[in-house]
Structure 1
């Protein structure tokens, strides 16, 4: 009998630390909402599926927030206004509800529910929010309050508490008693989450692992200059941050908090964002962690010859050993992980599971030395894009892995017990799961300014309080309540999430709140020590640019034209506009389109248009998207749902004429297009202007942007590959 191929799913459960240290309130509700939708569901599906095995990686600062909500102590404006009677609300409170209570995936969480969709349409029928406010009766507000929190309730949660189902069946005309029941059961559900994970561990159905306390990028805490190994031309902050003692504290305190909650010490760790370095792994080993995991890109840069074409090197456990310290390592299969995260949500569960199993069997038959396939990804954010919150897909996936010949579900600790022999590594490439570097968190002026403020606050705390200095240096085991709180605020400010939203590689309508939270953690350091708060901390770090503009292209790219976002990295370096800031003048309230991406390689320009939901659901068979490009002359690409190839058109004096340039496109979930560069006569440094229209038959239904076109930058084939982004 051949050796089985072990399949390990690691689900990383993480949210930023949303609790404002000055107000004691939660700035955003995502921990609560993911708790009732995902944190319970993910554990419950493993619990009820025969043969299922998984690793759940739990961030201690997330566990703190879950416990805060479960106890009823959390103060959250979303919850307070969700429970408040509309008759008692002020106008600004009602406006808050209209602005925020449709924050849900339209395709999966709004459209399936008749009343919620009706309210969505009522809130989007022209005019401003004040006009919408006059259209909403008190009963509409009560129904909206219930549906927002009901739509965020997971499938397994609905099976656990039949009251959720009964409310959904009622559908409308909810009462204050209905609303009170909803929140009561949700709080009860949240109270069951941590005990359920503990039960899975005791029964051997899951392994629980940990991440450093506030989810910092450990290697940057140890020595931010290590960023230059993978990014030689990166611009680093003015003040170099080099505090391995902070990295040690984040790991040690994270492990201690985990043990306090669950009653045992974790064996494994997913370092924040899979970020590793020699020093970081040494600290992880010193804190008693047996195994850690990161991305295949890190392994590829670590091994002298890379992973190799047959990828056998990827599917093995490794042993990192340096200066007498060691930790076992696993490396995630990038493609398999991203299929779950980005692709399978639009497939039927049967097709998706069959495809995944076929790929695993291909690895088993083709790569004879393969022993373990690590599938590692975010554990909460993908499921809002799946039908029934991923319940059917995950149940069938676990069952299929358990029942497929030659495949065995296992946790990483089980793999270490079952697989003998380790490939030895004496040095690890310093990088993360994104491009095997740290470009998401350092190098952009906004990110660097954040690091400078952090270093300044830490130095001010050490100089103002020898007690704080002793705690931070690791020389003091105990301290006063104030000193401990100062350290906690500094450690919270070291979290990766603030830096994730700085720069222009990611955007969020809530980026200003992430910015404010970061600065308030630093303000709290000065406040606790009785120091004057530097005036710069009152100024936003996140800068506002041209309306809708997010970033210019940062590297060459060659995405597949598939109509799906199949890979997180495909468009990561693309130029980007946020179309919600550039709404169509004809249908501003509908706001069908969300994002416009563009980029290029040496032969083609690439474009991608995202809707607020799947374009396949927005567009009708007779619809066309016309992409207009202006450089010396005006060009047009007419894209339909049926055809996938056609000419680039050029505007003459009286009419449009087809050129010889053939373009391809695909419209499924998103619209993706490829246009030959030589047809546009662009030179490095040129500006290209773009807009697009939606035509239904002969009628123009919308135009984005409504006024002036988007300005696109073309840097040419010599665009630097090594920038702060990559």
Structure 2
């Protein structure tokens, strides 16, 4: 058996770019709601376990949106929350009905019984909604999005939650104050953890694009043969490079430190993409296990407990050599990551913690003495917790406590591990793919997704033709909008695989970006929609 294990936990923080420059507000509230429920919460929880080392990945576009909120920008949901209930128009009430019941899970709303009462009343008897009902709904929907640490630390907030209904307009001031405080604390709190040497901060490309598809979107068929490709072949290496180097410049300015690691959007890599990471000075990246085994030409074989039969391949960094730099690639254990992301929410927290520790111990026991594995658990740091009781507080606290006390498990960060690692297997090429089944089909291949790629291509081609006519300031503005339009999220929501009631809103926002580019360069929109 191996003597010990290094555990590399990477929490990825990202939200689509919801800020609309034309309206000067956020069209959707999810950056704010995850800020008050998850971003500060995850940092404060880590701070309680100073021996625990881990990595937090923040996309530059998310940090930018957090900063916009801290500067006083608001979103449509927040604006409808602030409006006095007695002054609400029919249009505003319709908006509230359409948006204030968009809570993701019963677990999140179970501690707010009157919220559930209002939800049922809205379905069957909306005409009997009183002014007090509207006010209670305004307040309760915001209270859903606070984390348990903040609630415990803030008496006024906890009292509002205990009351459960019959709120006043004055009660809104408490929510406003706490929200502003949380948003202002997020970046400083992570800086504090980094200064202590407890965490590493990594980044992603600027607006979270799928870098291999920007370089050549027909690479999707190399990843998964038979993929239906868009009509036009999108090949803009310069855009990929810009999304990477602008991200590095921006986050190094924000965090005031050199950035060593890049989590590629959705773990999407290719030989060309990793070469771009190397050219921009990154020393490590990460992706899904499927990419490694597809590259090696090996099947992924797990036993009845989900343990991998080829652990030596997965549980070490592989080194990708280029003329510019050597980039270490960490490969995610899908099974362990998905247990946290999707399975443990259904278990009592102590059972979930025990199961994870048992899984890690079995990995140690299975590997040879001479091998010191590094196991990478990588997942979203914000989206799972609303499905856990109490926002995952007991589970995460229990897990962190168990990890810090374990004699054979050492939590680490990629940069820490690379400092002392002498295991250096190499890869000369990578099979293109992502952390979602090792392919790109979440963002390309369906007719709706391909339609979006073709719209993007037509506008990008038009911009290339008109670029020389633009002055420096206008050119910078246009390209910033283009980079937003290249983000992965627009393609994610199209097609049948990720259904959402807000799908049409995403499509409209994507098209508005493309049409804005055309307006700025003085050309008619060349696409459809």
TM-score, length-scaled by structure 2: 0.95
**Which residue number in structure 2 is paired with residue 174 of structure 1?**
167
C-alpha contact (below 8 Å) 1:314/1:331 kept by paired residues = yes
**Which residue number in structure 2 is paired with residue 116 of structure 1?**
115
The CA deviation at 1:307 is 5.9
- Could you say if the C-alpha distance between residues 114 and 449 of structure 1 is closer, same or farther in structure 2, counting changes exceeding 3 Å? closer
- Could you say if the C-alpha distance between residues 230 and 160 of structure 1 is closer, same or farther in structure 2, counting changes exceeding 3 Å? same
* Correspondences of 1:1-80 after superposition (within 5 Å): 3-72=3-72, 74-80=73-79
Measured against aligned partners, the alpha-carbon deviations of 1:594-632 in whole angstroms (never above 9, x if no partner) come to xxxxxxxxxxxxxxxxxxxxxxxxxxxxxxxxxxxxxxx
- Could you say if the C-alpha distance between residues 146 and 380 of structure 1 is closer, same or farther in structure 2, counting changes exceeding 3 Å? same
Considering Cα pairs closer than 8 Å and 6+ residues apart, tell me whether 1 or 2 has the greater RCO: 2
Q: Distance in 1 between matches of 2:372 and 2:4?
A: 9
* Correspondences of 1:273-284 after superposition (within 5 Å): 273-284=266-277
The CA deviation at 1:9 is 1.0
Q: Distance in 2 between matches of 1:307 and 1:346?
A: 26
C-alpha contact (below 8 Å) 2:281/2:325 kept by paired residues = no
Secondary structure of 1:377's counterpart equals strand
Structure 2 unpaired stretches of 5+? 302-308
The root-mean-square deviation of aligned C-alpha atoms, in Å, is 1.7
More helix by share: 2
The CA deviation at 1:167 is 1.4
* Correspondences of 1:24-423 after superposition (within 5 Å): 24-72=24-72, 74-124=73-123, 126=124, 131-132=125-126, 134-305=127-298, 309-368=309-368, 369-423=371-425
Greater CA deviation, 240-249 or 260-269?
260-269
C-alpha contact (below 8 Å) 1:320/1:427 kept by paired residues = yes
- Could you say if the C-alpha distance between residues 243 and 17 of structure 1 is closer, same or farther in structure 2, counting changes exceeding 3 Å? same
C-alpha contact (below 8 Å) 1:53/1:398 kept by paired residues = no
Greater CA deviation, 76-85 or 221-230?
221-230
* Aligned with residue 451 of structure 1, among 446, 450, 453: 453
Q: Distance in 2 between matches of 1:345 and 1:52?
A: 22
Measured against aligned partners, the alpha-carbon deviations of 1:437-474 in whole angstroms (never above 9, x if no partner) come to 11111121111111111111112122223166xxxxxx
Q: Distance in 1 between matches of 2:111 and 2:150?
A: 18
Q: Distance in 1 between matches of 2:152 and 2:480?
A: 39
Secondary structure of 1:109's counterpart equals helix
Q: Distance in 2 between matches of 1:121 and 1:111?
A: 14
The CA deviation at 1:20 is 2.3
Measured against aligned partners, the alpha-carbon deviations of 1:325-362 in whole angstroms (never above 9, x if no partner) come to 32001000000000000100011110000000000000
C-alpha contact (below 8 Å) 1:22/1:524 kept by paired residues = no
Q: How many residues align?
A: 520
**Which residue number in structure 2 is paired with residue 466 of structure 1?**
468
* Correspondences of 1:458-537 after superposition (within 5 Å): 458-466=460-468, 480-534=472-526, 536=528
Secondary structure of 2:26's counterpart equals coil
Secondary structure of 2:328's counterpart equals strand
C-alpha contact (below 8 Å) 1:57/1:209 kept by paired residues = yes
- Could you say if the C-alpha distance between residues 106 and 441 of structure 1 is closer, same or farther in structure 2, counting changes exceeding 3 Å? closer
Q: Distance in 1 between matches of 2:163 and 2:300?
A: 55
Secondary structure of 1:500's counterpart equals helix
Greater CA deviation, 298-307 or 176-185?
298-307
**Which residue number in structure 2 is paired with residue 428 of structure 1?**
430
Structure 1 unpaired stretches of 5+? 469-478, 540-726
The CA deviation at 1:260 is 1.6
Q: Distance in 1 between matches of 2:300 and 2:492?
A: 28
- Could you say if the C-alpha distance between residues 95 and 225 of structure 1 is closer, same or farther in structure 2, counting changes exceeding 3 Å? closer
Q: Distance in 2 between matches of 1:185 and 1:487?
A: 36
Measured against aligned partners, the alpha-carbon deviations of 1:211-237 in whole angstroms (never above 9, x if no partner) come to 000000000111122222122222212
Greater CA deviation, 170-179 or 160-169?
160-169
Secondary structure of 1:432's counterpart equals coil
Q: Distance in 2 between matches of 1:305 and 1:535?
A: 42
The CA deviation at 1:50 is 4.0
Q: Distance in 2 between matches of 1:467 and 1:214?
A: 25
- Could you say if the C-alpha distance between residues 307 and 327 of structure 1 is closer, same or farther in structure 2, counting changes exceeding 3 Å? farther
Q: Distance in 1 between matches of 2:500 and 2:227?
A: 24
The CA deviation at 1:535 is 6.5
C-alpha contact (below 8 Å) 2:336/2:377 kept by paired residues = yes
The CA deviation at 1:301 is 0.7
